[in-house]
Structures are given as structure tokens and as C-alpha cells.
Amino acid sequence: MTTNSTFMVQLPSRATEVNRALQQHPTPNRKMTFVSKLKSLTHLLLLGAIAFTLASCNPPSAPNVNVDVRTPVQVQAVRLGDIENLVVATGTLRPREVATVDAQVLGRLYYERDENGERFYEGHEVKKGDVLARIAGEEAELNLNLPAKKEAFEIAKREYNRQVSLHEDGIITERDFEQTRQTFTNAEAEYRRALLDERNTEVFAPMDGIILKLARDQDDILLADETLIGSGQLIAQVADISVLEASIDLIGPQLNRIEIGDPVRIKPSATYDEISFTGTLERISPLVNQQNHTFQVVVIVPNDEMLLRPGSFVEVEIIVEQRLQVPYVSLDSIKKNYSNNDVVFVVEGQRVQERRVRLGLRDDEHVEILEGVEPGERVVFGGVENLYDNVRVNVIREQ
């Protein structure tokens, strides 16, 4: 007998599986889940910051390119010009000769007038023998007393002549004759003095020149006509200013650089700023000033056009040595190379060539070039200490 049996397999239900999983992995509580997420987020932010920092500190390498590095330089051409070795000092111009005319008699002052009727003034040009002023007035006449002195002289002269023969004949004594002679001598002297005083009432220019100064009062105001003046008071000061001179003080080492006859250049400090005047070194003092250890030098300058004035403060340049129209460069174009030779850097294209040069006369800013470069060649000036031969340059300024 055959028995049919049904073989059944029971599958676990979905609820059973979930329960089994929960038993194996228990579900965390809500608080623990939040903390875990926060830690994960913090880790992610930290990793991002580290990555950003590393990216900033280590940028991607630049491609390998050629960089054109050129030194910026200033350039000027070798020029032709004058180079001078100078001794420079300052001084004050003055006339070589000054004549002062004083009043010789008491009286009232009257200055002369020119052809236009204008009273003579300071700066007026005069010739030797021109009348500058007259001294007149009652005071002058009383002081002279010329008629009385003339009459006294004539009386004394007649009496003296009369007694000469009497003395020779022995009629009068020696004492009486000597007294008469003395009276005559005194009268003659008084009369001659009066005649001289009369001539001195006219004041004459003693030389060709200009009037530097006229009579002034204690407040330095010019005296008006008819002012009473006394003997010895200044009437006028006249000077020839066609040639002026100036004394300058130099120190000892400069003495060996100068000599009599050296040309000089005069530069007034207040006027004619763009004009200079030429002169000559005329005298060198043989004595040294013991207080400041300087020696005095006198220079002269022609002033035919009367542009210079006595009393002007001037700068004096004594030209010790001079080179005319020679090649020169700026002093800051010169460099000593490793061999202690003087060199310049000549611009050729975009590079400089180190060129050895031989130097000549120099002044405060420039130096003569005897050989090594020619006029017109372009050389670097300023900052040459950092240059070397064949270096590439960029000309940023050219003079």
C-alpha cells in the first residue's frame, strides 16, 4: 500500500529574520548615534583643511622657461668740453685806489651841479680837477679875513725893508731888527695861509673816477646845501673803479697749487648770476696769518663796463690748470677693476663692454679721458660697481 506523504519545509518569516538580526546587533540608542556622526564630520573637515594647506604650500611646478634678466643702467655719451682744476674762495671787491677829500676851512657847504643842474650824487663820474663842492658863506669870509691879512703883510713888509738899510748902517740895534723881521715873517705866513684857505674853499676831484661817498650826518643822511661844516670833515670820496681787486684767504696746501699770473674767474653772488668776469692773480702775501693759519691772495678784475661795484661779495675761482675741448665722462662712470685699473662700461647693443681707460685732469664732477673711449661712445654712469664685462643691460635713461 502505497502511502503518499507530503514533505513540507517551513521558511522563516520576515519578522523572525528581523528579530534574529536585532538579537545579534542590538540597535544603539539615539544619543550614541549623534555623537558618532559628529565625530565623522569633524574628521572630514580636518582632512579637508590638511589637503587645502598642502595644496597651497606645494603649488604645481612652473614649466621650465628661459628668463631674460637685464641690469637697468643709465647711459651718457662721451663728450668734448673744458676741464678745470680750480681753487675756490670768496671775497669782497674794492677799488685799488681811493682818494678822500676833507674840508680845510670852516664854512657852508655847496655841492657842484652837473650840466642838467642836478647836484652831484654818489656814483657820479668825475674827472681829475673837476670842482666837487664849494665852501662859502659869512663864516668862511670871517675865517679867511683875507683883506686884513693882506694889509698886515704889506705894512710888515715895508717896515722890514726900511729897517734892513738901518740895520746895515748900525742905526738900529740887532734886537729891534730881529723883532721887525719876525713880525714880517708872521704876517707873510698868515697871508699865505689865507690865500691857501681861499683856494681850499673850492674842493677838486683828485683823480678820475666816481664819487663813492659824500658828506653825511650822524644818521647817515646826506648833508644839504648850506650846511655848516668844519675843517677836517669829509666832503667826498672818489675812486677809480675801472679795475677792482679782492683779497681772499687760502689755506696752506693751496699755496703750492697757485702762482702769480694765474687766470681767475669772478662770480658776483647777488647780481649777474649768469655772468662771470675774468681777472688775474696779482699778489700772494709772504706772511701767514698766525690766528687762522691762512695766507692772503689779491686778485684783480677789469671793470671797463662798470658792471661790478665796490663792496660786492664775490666767488673767486683761481684756474690752476685747464684742458680745453677734451673728451670727458662723469666721475661716477669710472670703476676700479680687479687689476686696479680704471675702466668704463661701453654699451654695445644689449650688453656692456668693460673698457680700460687712462684718466687726465678732473674737476668736482668730470674727468678727462686720455685714451680708451672716443667722443660719442655711450658709457654707463652710476651704479657701475655692480657691472662686469659682457653683462646684459636695459638702458632706462640716456643723457
Q: What is the pTM of this model?
A: 0.65
292: three-class secondary structure by DSSP: coil
Number of neighbouring beta carbons within 10 Å of residue 281: 22
Same fold, 73-81+325-398 and 85-92+239-323: no
Q: Where are the domains of the chain?
A: 30-59, 73-81+325-398, 85-92+239-323, 104-232
pLDDT of residue 6: 37
pLDDT of residue 276: 87
Number of neighbouring beta carbons within 10 Å of residue 248: 22
Q: Helix (H) and strand (E) counts for the chain? A: 6, 20
CATH of domain 73-81+325-398: 2.40.420.20
Number of neighbouring beta carbons within 10 Å of residue 38: 10
Report yes or no: 351 and 393 within 8 Å, Cβ to Cβ: yes
Residue matched to cell numbers 701767514: 288
Distance of CA 336 to the CA centre of its chain: 32
pLDDT of residue 8: 37
What homologous superfamily is domain 85-92+239-323 in, according to CATH? Efflux pump adaptor protein, beta barrel domain (2.40.30.170)
Cα dihedral sign, 6-11-16-20: positive
Q: 192: which 3 cell numbers? A: 699865505
Question: What is the mean pLDDT of each successive set of 10 residues along the chain, which is 399 residues long?
Answer: 39 45 47 52 57 52 60 93 93 94 91 90 93 86 78 84 80 84 87 80 92 92 91 93 95 89 89 80 90 91 92 93 94 92 93 94 93 95 88 89
pLDDT of residue 169: 73
The residue type found at 367 is V
Q: 316: which 3 cell numbers? A: 673767486
User: What beta strand segments (E) does the chain contain?
Assistant: 71-77, 79-102, 107-111, 125-126, 131-136, 202-204, 209-214, 227-229, 234-251, 263-268, 277-288, 294-302, 313-330, 335-336, 342-348, 351-356, 358-362, 366-371, 378-380, 393-398
Alpha carbon distances (Å) from 78 to 94, 223, 329, 364, 375: 42, 63, 6, 17, 5
DSSP 8-state class, residue 365: S
Residue matched to cell numbers 748902517: 169
Phi/psi at 125 (nearest 5 deg)?
Answer: -85, 135
